Amino acid sequence: MAPAMRAAAGAELVAVAGRDRLAAEVFAGRHGARRAYATLDDLLADPEVEAVYVATPVDRHLPDVLATAAAGRDVLCEKPLALDVSEAARMVDACAAAGVRLGICFYQRYNARHRWIRDALAAGRIGRVTAVRMNFSGRSPLRAGAWRQDPARSGGGSFMDSAVHCVDLLRFLFGEVREVVAFTGTLAERYPVEDTASALFRLDGGIQAVVTAHWSTTDPGDGRTSVIEIGGTVGTIVSWPLHEKFSRGTLSVATDAGEEEVRVPQASTHVALLDALAAARASGQPFPVSGEDGLAAQRVVAAVYASAATGRVTGP
């Protein structure tokens, strides 16, 4: 994000804050920020700071977003929005009450491959969509002090941290999630969050989608570990790697007429996100990836964990 702030036409990295003041100063120097602070309160007292990107661990999102909203600054928060639905709702309500914008860093909405897919689906390129598969996986060994492996700080494991991107892409491409059935487990490690998760969703229009997120598997091939497959009545779209931050990768469409590899422009998803947020600020509009989007994704993640815990079909 820091390099993207330097590259985006409508953004400038004015200041950074971190618990370790020296580390914050080193970071500021590396990325061209003018100042570094040891606390968020000090950063919010800086009159040149107009908006704040909250990139702290998830357990800090609520207090950091509430403080930023109370200071009258717009907020871009990392995903997932909060530890749970209740916290996420408080953040959305607080920003609305303060009259500030709340955005979520679901940067994959700005992957050019995903934007092309959305347009192709709207044009009926593969007919009626019936089935979707998304996999977002990698290896995450036990590591002392890793906040993502601590449920008190992260709220969850591979699904909360990784598959939440898939949840947002499902909503971006197809509409709302209506029903959920899921399994989670910790199969390869000993930390107290899941390292393996699989969920089956029923989406708007009856579309069935399978989302898997593993910290328990090792595979060097992005095409196998980070992929979107979309099946329709007259064709299939396959795109990978899902997590790519510069729209690089492979995008193919197969129909009875043949198979086509689609080329899209390569550009930073984070720069595109920042430019969209700057345009919203300039025009007085809400952020295009809003706090409500973060709350909706949080509700789906909560439904996944509820289904895994009870063995029942649940809804967001």
pLDDT tens for 33-72 read 999 999 999 999 999 999 999 999 999 999 999 999 999 9
Report residue 276 CA to chain centroid gap. 16
pTM for the model: 0.96
Is residue 259 helix, strand or coil?
strand
The predicted pLDDT at position 201 comes to 98
CA 105 – CA 270 distance, rounded (Å): 8
pLDDT given at position 248: 96
Strands (E), 124-195: 129-136, 177-185
For residue 20, give both structure tokens: 């370790």
- The per-residue pLDDT for range 249-266, each reduced to its tens digit, is 999 999 999 999 999 999
**Residue 95 CB burial class (10 angstroms; 0-12, 13-18, ≥19):** buried
Determine the Cα–Cα distance for residues 312 and 316; give it in Å rounded to an integer.
13
pLDDT digits (tens, 9 = 90+) for 167-196: 999 999 999 999 999 999 999 999 999 999
Write the class of the CATH domain 108-263+298-310.
Answer: alpha beta
Q: For residues 76 and 53, what is the distance between their CA atoms, to the nearest angstrom?
A: 5
Q: In the structure, what pLDDT confidence band is assigned to residue 272 with cuts at 50, 70 and 90?
A: very high
- In 6-67, the DSSP E strands lie at 15-17, 35-37, 51-54
Q: Domain-by-domain residue ranges, the chain?
A: 2-107+270-291, 108-263+298-310
Single out the residue of 244, 240, 183, 243 nearest to residue 216, CA to CA.
183
Residue 314 has pLDDT above 90, yes or no: yes
How is domain 2-107+270-291 classified at the CATH fold level?
Rossmann fold (3.40.50)
